[in-house]
Chain A
Amino acid sequence: MIWLLVAAVLFWMATWVLNEWLSRQNFGSGLVQKAVNLVIPLMFGVAILVLWEGFTRGLDVPKVLLPPPTMIWQRILNSLPILWADFQQTFLKAVIAGYVLGCGSGFLVALLCDRSSFMKRGLLPLGNFVSALPIIGVAPIMVMWFGFDWQSKAAVVVIMTFFPMLVNTVQGLSAADLMQRDLMRTYASTWWQTLTKLRLPAAAPFIFNALKINSTLALIGAIVAEFFGTPIVGMGFRISTEVGRMNVDMVWAEIAVAALAGSAFYGLVALVERIVTFWHPSLRSGRT
């Protein structure tokens, strides 16, 4: 079986050399360059998977420790209904509800305290401070207050996403410079007009930054909250029970789903960001 490992290592080294070569090339046309830039990380990923497969099969690693990727894939295909039910419970109910409520309320509170510099100076350091705290610890309290179902998980997500949104929005709202605000004043625009036409667009990169941070935080919050008690469905529940039964391949299947959902969520937010803040330098330079 050792030849499997050798083959995997050889494959890995071959892709490494190829990557090295590809990244040194200078392709004339932009489209080819773009494709190559996409291929390089993809090849790296495939190489890792092959190495993983060869390593686990070649060395006969006990599958309790680390199942090979093909086995995880098999498990995903075999238990689609369960995975879908868990995904529905954790992601579609708890994460989405909590994310919308948490980001929305963070945004609204930021707008409210924007009107008073006193509130802003008081809330901003506190918000920064709270962002550094292990907020995930409120999960048991929320489970006690809101019961076992998805509402308690949504509550944890709300608390976790609230503070990053608050801090970033407050910072973003002060991003428009004095000159631009003065211009709005010479137009005799109201606070509301200044907000919608100047300051919110200027704050958009900050707000999207918070939305992106929150998209990963939300998923983590919901899953961890499920360790503290849930009905018999949900990704966190599945992970903790299957670990107890040593069904590690099922756990990995669940992780794959979580990673996929997390990346897709993040990607979606990033895509919307590209469309909304197309004017921002960081995106303009990225296009060349």
Chain B
Amino acid sequence: MNARGKTIPVLTVISVIVVIWYACVVWMNAPFEYDKAKRAGVEIGFSQLVSNTMSQDRPVLPAAHQIVEEMYNTIVLKNITSRRSLVYHGWITLSATLLGFIIGTFLGVVLAVGIVHNRAMDKSVMPWVIASQTIPILAIAPMIIVVLNAVGLSGLLPKALISTYLSFFPVVVGMVKGLRSPDEAQLDLMRTYSASSAQTFWKLRWPSSMPYLFTSLKIAIAISLVGAIVGELPTGAVAGLGARLLAGSYYGQTIQIWSALFTAAILAAVLVMIVGVAHSYVLKRMGQKPDGTAA
């Protein structure tokens, strides 16, 4: 399946989705229009109905072009420092995401190195790393935020901590797998060179874990963003994409919700793409094919 083989089917599916979307817009927003026409005492024609459903102020389901228009207004036209600008809110979310992602990656790598080099740590920590993920951290995000606020920690760090907690897990799992991926023959070779364990680590284990690391990083950055967004929900809707979602749902501003949602989606896509580019760059420098198989 090369890139060319994918474009046309993907575009087809997307256009089908858009068509279904517009059909749903008409269908879901129609009751409101009928109601309005009835109260005004006028008959409403079909073409009139269709055009009305796509330009409501607070539609049940906004049309795609309304969302794009709102996004254009709030991203390009508004001043970046304005509180109505999505760039402003997006940046707040993004900074928490990145901080959490960096701490989480660091923590994950350190834990993985410990697990690989220490048997007791492997046996006792690993099950708890897995168990730690059964705690629905997103569910306790509000508590963490509020409690950290109570001790005077506010702003970026509490949100970043939630992202950290979410993102360290895929990194630990991927790195443990990656650091263990050199096979016996390679490890034996290092031993015949009488390499120290630090040398084995830097010259063999670390390079061979790179493909695994980047695969994990892609998951980690996506989940970091989710963590940052949910972390913004309980702060009383101050700033950030999550706060936009919450404010939109309080005031019934559906277009605002959808545009925040789409911005978050685009942000996630861009972040994953950046990690993907770094992935293929690093592997290329190491003389491997981008798909992770040794050249």
Contact = CB atoms under 8 A, between A and B. Distances in A.
Q: Most A CB atoms within 10 A — which of B140, B260, B269, B272?
A: B140
A258 B136 contact: yes
Contact of B140 (A23, A119, A246, A255): A255
A219 B151 contact: no
B269 A132 contact: yes
A246 B1 CA distance: 55
A236 interface: yes
Given A137-B229, A145-B60, A227-B234, A121 B10 contact: yes
A41 B127 CA distance: 6
Given A126-B10, A140-B245, A43 B124 contact: yes
Contact of A144 (B10, B151, B252): B252
Interface residues of A, number: 60
A78 interface: no
A177 B69 CA distance: 48
Nearest to B226: A134
A121 B1 CA distance: 8
* Chain B interface main SS type: helix
Interface string B216-255: 0011001001100110011000000110011011001010
Interface string A146-179: 0000000000000000000000000000000000
Interface in B105-155: 119-120, 122-128, 131, 133-136, 138-140, 142-143, 146-147, 150-151
Given A134-B264, A227-B233, A23 B119 contact: yes
A129 interface: yes
B9 interface: yes
B269 A129 contact: yes
Contacts of A45: 128, 131
A19 B249 CA distance: 51
Interface in B1-17: 1, 5-6, 9-14
Nearest to B9: A122
Given A126-B13, A132-B272, A258-B136, A144 B234 contact: no
Contact of B222 (A19, A37, A132, A224): A132
Contacts of B252: 144
Interface stretch (A187-195, A259-267, A280-288): A259-267
B261 interface: yes
Contacts of A227: 142, 233-234
Q: Most A CB atoms within 10 A — which of B11, B128, B245?
A: B245
The 7 closest A-B pairs by CB, nearest first: A122-B9, A140-B249, A122-B13, A44-B124, A223-B139, A41-B127, A121-B9
